[in-house]
Chains A and B, each alone.
Chain A
């Protein structure tokens, strides 16, 4: 059984069925692509997985534990973290603080440690800062640690979102169009980085992308959805030649 198992999930918004009977299985360590034209329901799948929405039907299991009814913070604590397509950085915080916030899951300090600023807290704060700087280093953001996150250029904000998600120590990482707004060169670089992060941290990655070319080069397995339903599933090679996929993309574009 995979680390992430979605079975027959459906969610409706009023009359619109955004995701319909979706089944998906991610092997541990996979780099899995979820693609589809605009409005296909990709972000909605992320929102279902992370507890923003609860499915009307079907089940979701993370490492054998049912998470379909849990709140987002609980799911994050269980080891699934995400980035947002419409960037959601903490706007009054610096680049460094954004990542430090995400380290709070691993804190051992109690509220009284915080109020009295005990030695334990001060040592932990030093450790949190080191960890955060290390993560920023991976994304070449350490040089701008003290700037407000919102003052970063768009591409850097996307990379910061990944760094922040990684700071929660996830086992499964969900990336919603991390390369949006980047040119092909930058996108390919980012994909290489994502692959190396997966290897280094032993992650399972689910990647949403609507640029087929980008996802073909990096994902080992790809699922294509359109109008909330799966229309194809397989290796990049198989997907590329699938007439239904070609039609969805040409028809939808």
Chain B
């Protein structure tokens, strides 16, 4: 009951902000804010597999791309007929239906891709996941380059604009709540046990392969949703936005904030996205700033800015919320 009210309150606040925000902070800052939100979803979801489950995925951008293109294509091609079906609804509601349809498709296809990548590579020990996810990201990019129906090398233009501050931050909240609830349940304890000691986890009955795949698939689904939200905001997608460098950005975010901390991933996404904009004048050199920051963090705060510090104590929560 209390939870329902909290969610209602959050939706109302976001909905009230949405129409006035652009005027209040300017179009440029509005755009950065939306981008920050998309990156929060990416960082918090990658943190589930890399931070909490202790596996090393470096292909998050691949799932992000799968989601972005799936949602864009779905809405672009099926959108007109859906609009006819929902013609009796007001435009806002039609947009919402379309966006949610796109995001659902994005989450499903990205999740299936996660399953296809995860099952073979997570059964093996060691760094297979890193290698396979890296390869997967590149394969997806090359695949997109060669599919004409979604723009190929020209890029996918004319994607309906459906997402905005409201939707992005609604999904930021959903992502955070999902990951938070998950890691404070039996499932979360299983994820963390795998990170801490895989042999002991197995001995306690944790089917480590199954839980790694589960964590990886959920993580991929949210990357897909982030992609959908991104494409329907920028209205244009290009395969070059989804190179391994994009995956690396998300890793930097969670390392800055602290692996295994939700608040850390959020902070990392904010610092990184804003930092990237502030240093835009440096051109390609701005990445050097982050390399320096990363090295400094590794030396002085290897646990990240927040480490395993958490705002909300996870343990005492059984009854609350």
Contacts and interface: CB of A to CB of B under 8 A. Distances in A.
A233 B205 CA distance: 31
B148 interface: no
A162 to B, nearest CB: 13
B318 A90 contact: no
A144 B201 CA distance: 22
Interface in B200-254: 200-208, 214
Nearest to B194: A90
Interface string B286-321: 000000000000000000000010000001011101
Nearest to B208: A73
Contacts of A121: 185
B315 A146 contact: yes
A111 B208 contact: no
B315 A77 contact: no
B204 A102 contact: yes
Contacts of B201: 73, 90, 101
A115 B193 contact: no
A73 B206 contact: yes
Nearest to B206: A73
A106 to B, nearest CB: 9
Interface in A136-162: 146
A107 interface: yes
Contact of A93 (B178, B185, B192, B317): B192
A171 interface: no
B122 to A, nearest CB: 14
B185 A114 contact: yes
A50 B193 CA distance: 18
Interface of A: 50-52, 71-74, 76-77, 81-82, 84, 88-94, 96-97, 100-105, 107, 109, 111, 113-117, 121-122, 124-126, 128-129, 146, 164-165, 167-168
Given A71-B207, A72-B203, 14 more contacts: A72-B199, A73-B206, A73-B208, A76-B203, A82-B203, A88-B200, A90-B197, A92-B195, A92-B196, A101-B206, A104-B206, A105-B205, A107-B186, A114-B185
